[in-house]
Amino acid sequence: MTEKPVVRTRVAPSPTGDPHIGTACQALFDYVFAKSRGGQFVLRIEDTDRARSTPESEAKIFEALRWLGIPWDEGPDVGGPYGPYRQSERTEIYREHCRTLLDKGHAYRCFCAPERLETVRNKKRGPDERPGYDGHCRNLGEEEIRRRLDAGVPFVVRMRVPDEGECVFKDMLRNEVRIPWHNVDEQVLMKSDNFPTYHLANVVDDRLMRITHVIRGEEWISSTPKHLLLYEYFGWAPPEFCHLPLLRNPDKSKLSKRKNPTSILYYREAGFLPEAIVNYLGQMAYTLADGREMFSLADMVETFDPRRIGLGGPVFDIAKLTWLNGRYLRETMDAETLLARLREWKLSDDVWARILPLAQPRIEKLSDLVPLTAFFFADRPQYAAEALISKKLDGDATARLLRIALWEMEKVRDWNKETVQACVARIAEKEDLKLRDAVGPFFVALTGSPSSTPLFDTMAILGSDMTRRRLQYALDALAEAGHALSSKKTKEIEKDYRERYEATS
RNA sequence: GGCGCUAUCGUCUAGCCCGGUCUAGGACGCCGCCCUCUCACGGCGGAAACUGGGGUUCGAAUCCCCAUAGCGCUACCA
């Protein structure tokens, strides 16, 4: 009797920015699938992009998933038998596997300069041409390779892809997917910094970590042939593939922070409950057979049937999430529980201990306190859009300032009073504004009033996610008041921003 | 442009695999009414969808083909 291998799934986020609601959704389905089959769920950190990955972002992923209550059996923080679970700690493994491919002739070194690749990429290609790389270094002679290696010419390793035939694979949720090999790019496997790309690392790790079911976003369908080919090159049996539809913005495009709050931590700050979010996410492209709309993670595990996963990309609708959240608040807790939850959230002595020193000098009666500090506990402060505008800064200038601030603040890694102050000061300087004038719109956007607790302390307490969300709200308010940043205008600002801010940073 | 995926109310969806029971069901949002010291909750009701065209069939939301549309991928990002 052959024993069926234990079902193992994984979520493999890359720690570049805020923990994304889409990652949570994918993690949820991976988790539920594994658990419904008595299996294990693994968290792996894909930090092979060393330019963009940060430890702060990784920590936020743990925090967000833990807060949501989706536990992992193995991961960088808890360990496990197939570690390490952080790709940056597995580089030697990838290098070995890369050597194998090179030795077997399944991969080749490419010495092309980035500039050349740029040209190749931008060249308009005919319908019969392979996308991506043009195969320039595909058949270099031994000698030629040696010569460049000796000369220290930087190179990448690319996988070889057949010219003929097609890749046919079965997706758990779809019929056969057929993609002609001819349309598959000869992807880079090893970058010139000697780090692997997603494609190599992902296949090697899934194999070594005994992943049986790759449940991931639909955006990966077109890369699946590459992955399958790698399994074949290594002589490994591939796992099952299951591509989940992507969460969408209200305009149906892939869910993005441009158009929606996507940071899980923002939802926490705004007062959403983890069980409501998990429940709502479970409703994205999925329904329980009995039609229940309120269900827990355990309910989902108990009844999970992957065949009930729909394939249309669901729009992430905050209004409906809000309604569901309200049901949890009023139907699942008594006053005592609610109070405990409120304390767990923000109404704690710890938080008050940070707020009080800012508020005390500004009150004359005890009764002044709550009105003065209410905005700390709100999601969107209430104010008229005109309040954001001043003589020094008209509506358009304010919009520009806030837009730039949003970009700059994304880059603040360790969010505290000092870093945030430096950030705003830098913007004021670059925009040639006195700090005093620049700060006005921030006060209103963040606190709802031009006079309030000190800005930078306030920002530190609100936190990165909520601060940035409120700036976005302010931008929305300005847009409604006739100061919308068109996408053209935004592009102009962004170009200008990149030139003036990044060169010197 | 190329390749791929998808397609039921504005949104999340049931139904589709195993055609008739679908005058297409539920939920969010919206509107109206009721409850009520206000508001909210709750209750009741309403407007609102099978993308189009061809087949197959006695019969198609359900099966097939084409068109269209949306989305994704098309990086030394994942």
Q: Which backbone phi and psi does A303 adopt, to 5 degrees?
A: -115, 5
A63 SS3 class: helix
Contacts of A264 (CB under 8 A, 6+ apart): A18, A19, A20, A21, A23, A24, A64, A65, A67, A68, A277
C-alpha closest to that of A45 among A60, A30, A67 = A60
pLDDT (tens digit, 9 = 90+) per residue, A193-218? 999 999 999 999 999 999 999 999 99
Nucleotide nearest to A177 (CA to C1'): B4
Active-site residue flag, A257: yes
Nucleotide nearest to A189 (CA to C1'): B76
How many residues appear in chain A? 505
**Dihedral of alpha carbons A289, A290, A291, A297, sign:** negative
Element (H, E) at A405: helix A395-410
Beta strands (DSSP E) in A13-94 are: 40-43
Q: What ipTM, to 2 d.p.?
A: 0.95
The CA–C1' separation of A166 and B22, in angstroms, is 41
The CA–C1' separation of A291 and B26, in angstroms, is 8
Nucleotides of strand B within 7 Å of the protein's CB atoms: 1-8, 10-17, 25-29, 41-42, 70-78
Nucleotide nearest to A312 (CA to C1'): B6
* Euclidean distance between CA atoms A198 and A48, whole angstroms: 7
* Euclidean distance between CA atoms A416 and A39, whole angstroms: 41
pLDDT (tens digit, 9 = 90+) per residue, A218-262? 999 999 999 999 999 999 999 999 999 999 999 999 998 888 899
The CA–C1' separation of A183 and B63, in angstroms, is 31
pLDDT (tens digit, 9 = 90+) per residue, A91-126? 999 999 999 999 999 999 999 888 888 888 877 666
Q: pTM here? A: 0.94
Q: Which of A35, A60, A226, A257 is catalytic?
A: A257
C-alpha closest to that of A94 among A180, A208, A7, A263 = A208
